[in-house]
């Protein structure tokens, strides 16, 4: 959000949250957060809208539609956003007085008025039923471990505070009830997310719901580990027209420390280095989390990167985001890009099995939903395949991802990956990192070896980082011992 665009809203203590459009290019939606509520507004252009009316101009500008006259759109997107947020600010005081606004499925239409320039009219959005239909069949047992009966809160009991980064479904929230102030994270599909994903066949929205259900169940059933996200604390429901609760999301603990990506950016902004002791501890904890994932939980993560490790109050890392639905190009192992198959053949000198990779040349194959993207790994996802056929190869692919993530931490590289579309697009350099011990650089480089057979195993990585993290403890306590010794020495 650019400063100035949201001035009118700020004056009302309302936060501008997001703007998005529909597939048919006739609607623009916007959500704001104010007075404990998240309210969605709609700007629509229909064949009988006046071309110079505000909703029509907003739709034309947002969707880049061709118009015969400059007066039928905006000069640029920034002026469009300013006009959009100001329009919402104009109707806000009346809207918020309307009790209907708190009902599920209510959207406020912004219309050209008679006397006034614009008016807001709350209406029941017809897509709300389609949204509920997508979620209707979800049972608590699809989301939590067997034998557990989680507490379920109605969505009206929850205040959205902020949309978190990532793909858009994660929100920082809090209970309406001021006696329960601790912040939580909502994940799932609220109505806003549905409107954002909705299209003709709702294929993508349906996949997103499935992915949410599976990830929720995955962490619920996973043996606990201190560096892995705990199962959801509560579930969230929305009431349908018969007042029956429909499960739409879950709530988990929010960690105020932010994620590792934020920590790297914050250190860079201060032009400071994260202490080596901290880096060693974090590398160790990342390796512990991934080892538990593969060796104890017998699964995989697939989205290893700094943004998916959050920092708790004791500055320990927790691995979040168990969607297993897409791998980031920045940390994806090159052999896991969907163009290779793998099998174990014979043994290496150290007795461990040797992995042999062959380029796939058969007919086109797909196990990812249409619309995931154009890269080979958006079409063929090797993770579930190798999980079943060659867990060793899967583990070594995640060792690569760990390597990239450890490199980002050690070299404090953050946020310049916009252009990265494939794994090889990342330039791994250690420039300006004179204080990273050379044996650390070597281990991390080994994790990123092109031939997975040359990468260290998770056991070796744990041993290495345990040793490094321990050496700092030892240094700290030995200097303490020395100080004590000096103090006690008779002079």
Ligand X SMILES: Nc1ncnc2c1ncn2[C@@H]1O[C@H](COP(=O)(O)OP(=O)(O)O)[C@@H](O)[C@H]1O
Q: Of Mg ion, ligand X, none, which one does residue 236 interact with (CB within 5 to 8 Å by kind)? A: none
Which of 393, 420, 389 is CA-nearest to residue 404? Answer: 420
Q: Which is nearer to ligand X, 106 or 185 (CB)?
A: 185
Alpha helices in 312-433 (DSSP H): 376-379, 382-389, 391-410
Query: Binding to ligand X by residue 174, rule CB under 6 A?
Result: no
Structure tokens at 421: 């579309």
Query: Binding to ligand X by residue 377, rule CB under 6 A?
Result: no
Instruction: Compute φ and ψ for 484, nearest 5 degrees.
Output: -70, -40
CA distance 318 to 227: 4
Quick one: how many helices (H) and strands (E) in the chain? Answer: 13, 15
CA distance 31 to 19: 7
Choosing from 43, 72, 191, 255, the residue that interacts with ligand X (CB under 6 A) is 255
How does strand 353-359 pair with strand 340-347?
A: antiparallel
Query: Binding to ligand X by residue 308, rule CB under 6 A?
Result: yes
Choosing from 164, 216, 393, 458, the residue that interacts with ligand X (CB under 6 A) is 164
Minimal distance, residue 196 CB to ligand X, in Å:
12
Segment contacting ligand X (CB under 6 A): 1-9, 303-311, 333-341, 351-359? 303-311
Segment contacting ligand X (CB under 6 A): 90-98, 173-181, 316-324, 411-419? 316-324
Q: Which is nearer to ligand X, 182 or 361 (CB)?
A: 182
CA distance 248 to 30: 21
Q: Which is nearer to Mg ion, 30 or 189 (CB)?
A: 189
Query: Binding to ligand X by residue 166, rule CB under 6 A?
Result: yes
Residues 6+ apart with CB under 8 A from 94: 120
Minimal distance, residue 321 CB to Mg ion, in Å:
4
Q: Which is nearer to ligand X, 300 or 440 (CB)?
A: 300
Segment contacting ligand X (CB under 6 A): 160-168, 188-196, 218-226, 407-415? 160-168
Q: Which is nearer to Mg ion, 321 or 385 (CB)?
A: 321
Q: Name beta bridge partners: 33.
A: 15, 38
Choosing from 5, 17, 22, 259, the residue that interacts with ligand X (CB under 6 A) is 259
Specify the DSSP element, H or E, that contains 152: strand 151-154
Q: Of ligand X, Mg ion, none, which one does residue 138 interact with (CB within 5 to 8 Å by kind)? A: none
Q: Of ligand X, Mg ion, none, which one does residue 449 interact with (CB within 5 to 8 Å by kind)? A: none
Minimal distance, residue 166 CB to ligand X, in Å:
2
Q: Which is nearer to ligand X, 288 or 310 (CB)?
A: 310
Specify the DSSP element, H or E, that contains 111: strand 106-112
Q: Which is nearer to ligand X, 59 or 311 (CB)?
A: 311
Minimal distance, residue 303 CB to ligand X, in Å:
7
Q: Are 192 and 274 in contact (CB under 8 A)?
A: no
Query: Binding to ligand X by residue 317, rule CB under 6 A?
Result: no
- Report the half-sphere exposure of 298 (CA within 13 A, side-chain side): 4
Alpha helices in 69-188 (DSSP H): 77-95, 127-135
Choosing from 38, 222, 310, 448, the residue that interacts with ligand X (CB under 6 A) is 310
Minimal distance, residue 299 CB to Mg ion, in Å:
17
Tell me the CA end-to-end span of the chain in Å, nearest whole number.
66
Q: Which is nearer to Mg ion, 120 or 326 (CB)?
A: 326
The size of the interface with ligand X (CB under 6 A), counted in residues, is 19
Structure tokens at 458: 């998770």
- Contact residues toward Mg ion (CB under 5 A) are 166, 308, 321
Q: Of Mg ion, ligand X, none, which one does residue 252 interact with (CB within 5 to 8 Å by kind)? A: ligand X
CA distance 337 to 65: 36
Q: Which residue is nearest to Mg ion (CB)?
A: 321
Q: Name beta bridge partners: 41.
A: 30, 108
Site string for ligand X, 213-252 (x = CB under 6 A): ---------------------------------------x
Outline where DSSP puts E strands in 292-370. Answer: 309-311, 317-319, 340-347, 353-359
CA distance 442 to 29: 50
Q: Of ligand X, Mg ion, none, which one does residue 254 interact with (CB within 5 to 8 Å by kind)? A: ligand X
Query: Binding to ligand X by residue 212, rule CB under 6 A?
Result: no
Which of 165, 208, 202, 166 is CA-nearest to residue 188? Answer: 208
Four-point Cα dihedral 473, 478, 484, 485, nearest 10: 170
Q: Which is nearer to ligand X, 320 or 336 (CB)?
A: 320
CA distance 180 to 246: 23
Minimal distance, residue 359 CB to Mg ion, in Å:
31
How does strand 37-44 pair with strand 106-112?
A: parallel
Query: Binding to ligand X by residue 186, rule CB under 6 A?
Result: no
Q: Of ligand X, Mg ion, none, which one does residue 176 interact with (CB within 5 to 8 Å by kind)? A: none
Q: Which is nearer to Mg ion, 128 or 377 (CB)?
A: 377
Burial call 259-287: b when 16+ CB within 10 Å, e when fewer? bbbbbbbebeeeeeebeeebbbbbbbbbb
Binding site for ligand X (CB under 6 A): 164-167, 169-170, 185, 252-255, 258-259, 307-308, 310, 320-321, 323
């Amino acid at each position: 959000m650019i400063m100035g665009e949201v001035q009118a809203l700020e004056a009302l203590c309302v936060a501008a949250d997001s703007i998005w459009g529909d597939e048919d290019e006739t609607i623009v939606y916007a959500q704001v957060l104010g007075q404990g509520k998240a309210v969605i507004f709609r700007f629509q252009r229909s064949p009988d809208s006046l071309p110079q009316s505000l909703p029509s101009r907003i739709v034309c500008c947002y969707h880049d539609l061709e118009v015969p006259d400059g007066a039928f759109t905006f000069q640029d997107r920034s002026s469009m956003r300013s006009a959009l947020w100001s329009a919402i600010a104009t109707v806000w005081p009346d809207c918020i007085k309307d009790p209907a606004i708190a009902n599920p499925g209510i959207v406020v239409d912004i219309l050209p008025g008679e006397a006034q320039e614009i008016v807001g009219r709350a209406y029941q959005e017809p897509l709300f039923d389609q949204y509920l239909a997508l979620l209707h069949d979800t049972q608590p047992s699809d989301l939590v471990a067997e034998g557990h009966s989680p507490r379920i809160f109605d969505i009206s009991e929850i205040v959205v505070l902020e949309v978190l980064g990532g793909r858009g479904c994660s929100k920082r929230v809090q209970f309406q009830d001021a006696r329960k102030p601790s912040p939580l994270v909502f994940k799932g599909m609220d109505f806003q997310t549905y409107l954002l994903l909705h299209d003709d066949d709702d294929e993508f929205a349906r996949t997103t719901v499935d992915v949410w259900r599976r990830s929720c169940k995955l962490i619920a059933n996973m043996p606990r580990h201190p560096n892995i996200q705990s199962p959801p604390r509560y579930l969230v429901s929305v009431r349908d027209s018969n007042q029956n609760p429909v499960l739409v999301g879950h709530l988990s603990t929010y960690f105020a420390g932010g994620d590792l990506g934020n920590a790297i950016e914050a250190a860079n902004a201060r032009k400071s280095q994260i202490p080596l002791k901290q880096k060693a501890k974090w590398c160790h904890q990342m390796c512990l989390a991934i080892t538990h994932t593969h060796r104890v939980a017998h699964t995989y993560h697939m989205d290893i990167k700094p943004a998916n490790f959050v920092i708790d109050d004791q500055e320990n890392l927790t691995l979040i985001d168990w969607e297993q639905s897409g791998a980031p190009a920045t940390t994806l192992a090159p052999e896991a890009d969907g163009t290779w198959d793998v099998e174990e053949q014979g043994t290496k000198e150290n007795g461990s099995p040797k992995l042999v990779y062959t380029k796939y040349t058969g007919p086109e194959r797909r196990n990812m939903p249409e619309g995931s993207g154009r890269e080979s790994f958006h079409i063929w996802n090797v993770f579930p395949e190798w999980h079943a056929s060659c867990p060793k190869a899967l583990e070594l692919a995640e060792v690569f991802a760990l390597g990239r993530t450890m490199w980002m931490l050690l070299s404090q590289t953050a946020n310049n990956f916009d252009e990265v579309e494939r794994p090889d697009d990342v330039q791994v350099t250690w420039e300006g990192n004179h204080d990273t011990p050379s044996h650390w650089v070597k281990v991390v480089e080994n994790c990123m070896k092109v031939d997975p057979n040359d990468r260290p195993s998770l056991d070796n990585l744990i041993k290495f980082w345990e040793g490094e993290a321990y050496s700092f403890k030892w240094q700290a306590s030995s200097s303490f011992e020395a100080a004590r010794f000096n103090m006690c020495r008779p002079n």
